[in-house]
Structure 1
C-alpha cells in the first residue's frame, strides 16, 4: 500500500504526541514493506526552507510545504493552507497514486478532501473543538467548524481511544458514524527496563509539555505535601514551557513560586529532552511516573512509563480507565485535586511491594494492549478494510 499521512509536526520538527505517533506508525509501516508519504504545512522557514522541503527520513518520504503568506488574514490563511494540502494531494496522486490518506482531526486538514476515489480517514487524536468543550474553554467557532467539517467529510473515522471517539462524535453531531478505535502503542524494546540503571528512591518524573491542562500546577502543589513526608522525594519536570510570559514572568517561574521555599531545590525543570536519551534515562531511574493531565485523548507518555515497568499515576478523567486499571496496573487520580494526587504518590512511596506490583502489572498491560509490534498490523488491517469497503461501495457519494 501507499499510505499518505497529513501531519504538520513530523519529527524532528517541534512535535507532540501526534507527531511522535505518526513517526512510529510511518516507520513501522515502511518496515513491513509499505510506502509512506507524510505531508504537512509549516509556518517556520527552518522546516520548509522557503520553497518547501522533500526528504526521506528512515525510509519515509516527508514533504514540508510553506504556509500561505502571513499577510493573509487568519481565516483566509487557514483555508488557503488546507486548500494547498488538497491540491498537493491531487497533484501527487497523478504521479504516484495513494491507496489511502489519513489526517488527524486536529486542525481539520482534510477540510477540502483529497483525490477522487481515494478513501480518506480522519483519526481522532484531540481536536481544538474536543479540548475546548472538555476543558470548558472559550474556543474559536471558525476553528471548530473546520475541524467538524473535515471529520464529517471523511470516508472513515478512527480514534486513539473510546472516550475520545464517543465525545468527539457527540460534540460534532456525528454519533451516527461508526469509528474504529486503535489505541496508541509503544516500542517495548526501546521503552524497557535496563539492568544497568538503578531506581532512584523518591524520584518522581513528569514528561509532557508544561501548561496548565497537563496538571502540572496540581503536581507542584502535591509535591509540597509529599516533600514534607519524604526527605528523599524530588520531582523532575521534563518538557517545554509552552505558555507565553506574563508581565515578564515565565510560566516555569510561576510554578517555582508555588513551591514552599524549603522544598524549592527538590524540583528541577530540565526543559525539552531527547526522547531516546535524556527522557529514557529519567524514566528508567524514576521511582514513580506521574501524569495528572486534566484531559487527554489517550496519553502516550503514560504507556511509555508503564512499558519500562514503572508505577504510573494517570488521570481518572477521559481515557484514563482505558489505559490503567486502577490499583492493578497503576493508580488513577483526580487531576484537579492536589491532595488526592499527593495521597497516590505517598501510597507508592510508602510501599515497595505496591510499587513493584504496579510496575510489573503495568508492563504486562502494555504487552497485551499497547505493544507497537501488534499496533502496526492492526493499522494495516484497518487500512485494508477501508480500501476494500471503499472499492465495493465506490466511496461515499459527494465526499470528495
Structure 2
C-alpha cells in the first residue's frame, strides 16, 4: 500500500517545527515502512522546498508562499496541486491530514482523504473555554466535510469533536497513538532522583501549569526535599497577555518552592528519555489534550504518573492501578497524590510495572499500525 501524510510538523533536522503531532506521525510512518508500506510525508509552511529520505520515509518540504491577496486560499491550492502531482506520480492510494485549522479546506484530492483528530482549534477552545476565531471554525468544519473518514486518538476526542462540528459518528474510528516500545525501555526502574517531579510540555495555561505551581507549593510545604523539573517551550499567556507563562508560574511559587523548581526550557527530544528515567514521579495536570504522548512515554518508562482526570485521560490510566487521575483544579488532592508517591517507593514500583503493561497492551505502535493499515484499506474504492 502507498500512503501520504500532510502535516505542518515532523521530527527532522531540516524541518522547522516538531511536537506531539509530528512525533505520532513519524512513529506510525516508520512502522508502516517496516511493514512494506510506501510512505510519503508532505510538510507545508517550510523555509525551503526539498525532498529528503528519513528511515525509509520520503519527506517533501513545501515552501511557504505569500500572495498579494487571499494567501490562506492560494497557498492551500498550491499544496493541493503539489500533493496531487506526487499522488499521481507515485500512485499514492490514500491521504491523511490533521484537523488543526483545517488545512485541507478547499482542497480536492484524487484519492480518499482521512482527517486525524490531533486536536482542532475548536476542540481546544471548547476545553479551555475560549472563543474561537470564526474563520478557523469555518476552515475546520469544511475540512471535515470533504474528508471521507476520521480517526480519533481517543474516543473522548472523537465524541467531543463530533459534537462541535456535527459529524457522523459512524465515520469516526478510534485508534490510539503508539510508541516504539523498544525505544522506551527502562532496565533500571529503581534508579532515579528521589523526590523529583517531572513535567514535560509547553509552558502554557491550558496544560495546567499555573495549577501545578500551586500544587508544588503544597508539596514542598510537606516535603522540603521535593523538586520540580519542567521541560518545554515557554509561551505567552492568552488570558493576561503576559509574554511568559513561566514568569506567571514564578509569581505563584512561594520562596521555598521557587528555589526547588528548575526550568530547563526546550531540550532535544533524544534527551527527554533520560529526564523521564531520572524522575521519581511525572505530573501532567492538563486541561486540553486529545491523548497526551508524554503520558504514555512516561508510563512506558515505568514512571508513576499523576494525570488529569478529564475525558481522554480515563482511556490512558486506571486510577490507582497504573497511575492516578485528579482534576487540575483539585489542588489539595493532586498534591497529596504526589506526596504519597514520593513517600512510598514500593507503590511507585508497582504502579510503574502496571503502567508498562498498559502501554504494551494498548499503545504498541506495531499493533496500532496494523489497525491503521486495515482501516485505510477499508476506505479504498
User: Do they superpose with TM above 0.5?
Assistant: yes
Q: How does 1:1-400 map to 2 (within 5 A)?
A: 1-12=1-12, 13-42=16-45, 47-49=46-48, 52-69=49-66, 72=69, 76-116=70-110, 118-195=111-188, 198-243=191-236, 250-276=244-270, 278-387=271-380, 391=381
Q: Distance in 2 between matches of 1:272 and 1:234?
A: 18
Contact 2:194/2:280, CA 8 A, preserved across alignment: yes
How far apart are 1:347 and its partner, in Å? 2.0
How far apart are 1:382 and its partner, in Å? 1.4
Q: Distance in 2 between matches of 1:279 and 1:197?
A: 18
**RMSD over equivalenced CA pairs, Å:** 1.9
Give the secondary-structure state (helix, strand or coil) at the position aligned to 2:171: coil
Q: Over residues 182-208 of structure 1, what are the superposed CA-to-partner deviations in whole Å (9 max), with x where a residue is unaligned? A: 011112211111339812110100111
Q: Over residues 332-353 of structure 1, what are the superposed CA-to-partner deviations in whole Å (9 max), with x where a residue is unaligned? A: 0111232232122112123223
Which runs of 5 or more structure 1 residues have no equivalent in the other structure? 392-400
Give the secondary-structure state (helix, strand or coil) at the position aligned to 1:201: coil
Inter-CA distance 333–244: structure 2 relative to 1 (3 Å threshold): closer
How far apart are 1:244 and its partner, in Å? 6.6
Contact 1:294/1:336, CA 8 A, preserved across alignment: no
Inter-CA distance 248–380: structure 2 relative to 1 (3 Å threshold): closer
Inter-CA distance 259–71: structure 2 relative to 1 (3 Å threshold): farther
Q: Distance in 1 between matches of 2:171 and 2:61?
A: 32
Contact 2:190/2:349, CA 8 A, preserved across alignment: no
- Spell out structure 1 runs of 4+ moving beyond 4 A: 244-249
Q: Over residues 259-313 of structure 1, what are the superposed CA-to-partner deviations in whole Å (9 max), with x where a residue is unaligned? A: 111221211111111222x211110111101111012111111000000111011
Q: Distance in 1 between matches of 2:152 and 2:299?
A: 21
Q: Distance in 2 between matches of 1:78 and 1:339?
A: 46
Inter-CA distance 363–108: structure 2 relative to 1 (3 Å threshold): same
How far apart are 1:356 and its partner, in Å? 1.6
Contact 1:132/1:139, CA 8 A, preserved across alignment: yes
Inter-CA distance 194–114: structure 2 relative to 1 (3 Å threshold): farther
TM-score normalised to the size of structure 2? 0.94
Q: Distance in 1 between matches of 2:211 and 2:336?
A: 12
How far apart are 1:137 and its partner, in Å? 0.3
How far apart are 1:101 and its partner, in Å? 0.3
Q: Distance in 2 between matches of 1:98 and 1:287?
A: 46
Contact 2:220/2:256, CA 8 A, preserved across alignment: no
Give the secondary-structure state (helix, strand or coil) at the position aligned to 1:189: helix
Q: Distance in 1 between matches of 2:297 and 2:116?
A: 21
Inter-CA distance 247–313: structure 2 relative to 1 (3 Å threshold): closer
Which runs of 5 or more structure 2 residues have no equivalent in the other structure? none
Q: Distance in 2 between matches of 1:32 and 1:39?
A: 20
Count residues in correspondence.
377
